[in-house]
Amino acid sequence: PATAGEAAAVVRRRQLGQRLRLRIEHVQHLSGLSNVSSLLARSCLIPVPNPLHLLTDHPALLTPRLGPTRAARAFPLASLAAAGLRPALASDWPVVSLQPLTSLYAAVLRHAPPPAVECAMNRGLPAGARHRV
């Protein structure tokens, strides 16, 4: 393990086995380490990016806060999967929409669905799971 925190997470995970699924939220913005995905994979932590932030976190917002290199690497969903991780997705509601299918659409295509597609996706959900678009 690279850090004391990572070492502690690995030890705790081994102690608890599969009973506890430890997560790290907002994994859409990772550090500048080139091996950060493999470090996460070794830690047994579940990365939880928020794909709907792809639609709201514009480069003009991210670059001043994260720097150009880190901002360019934002939302590395493919890198996480390539490292053997199985990201769980979250909505981050009420900061962004509570639309699960829109979140999946953004995770896969990296942009918002057209309004007609979003409405059709929402209609496909069971009545109790529908939310206003």
pLDDT of the chain along its 133 residues, tens only? 467 777 787 777 777 766 667 788 888 887 766 678 888 887 778 899 999 998 888 778 889 988 888 888 888 888 888 888 888 988 888 888 888 888 889 989 988 889 888 888 878 777 766 665 4
- Which tokens in the block code for residue 70? 């880190």
- Tell me which H or E stretch contains 46: strand 46-48
What is the count of structural domains for the chain?
A: 1
pTM: 0.70
Q: What are phi and psi of 97, to 5 degrees?
A: -60, 155
If one counts every other C-beta atom within 10 angstroms of the C-beta of residue 133, the result is 14
Host domain of residue 113: 4-129
**What is the distance between the alpha carbons of residues 104 and 110, in angstroms, rounded to a whole number?**
9
Angle between helices 100-109 and 115-123 (to 10 degrees): 130
**3-class SS of residue 21:** coil
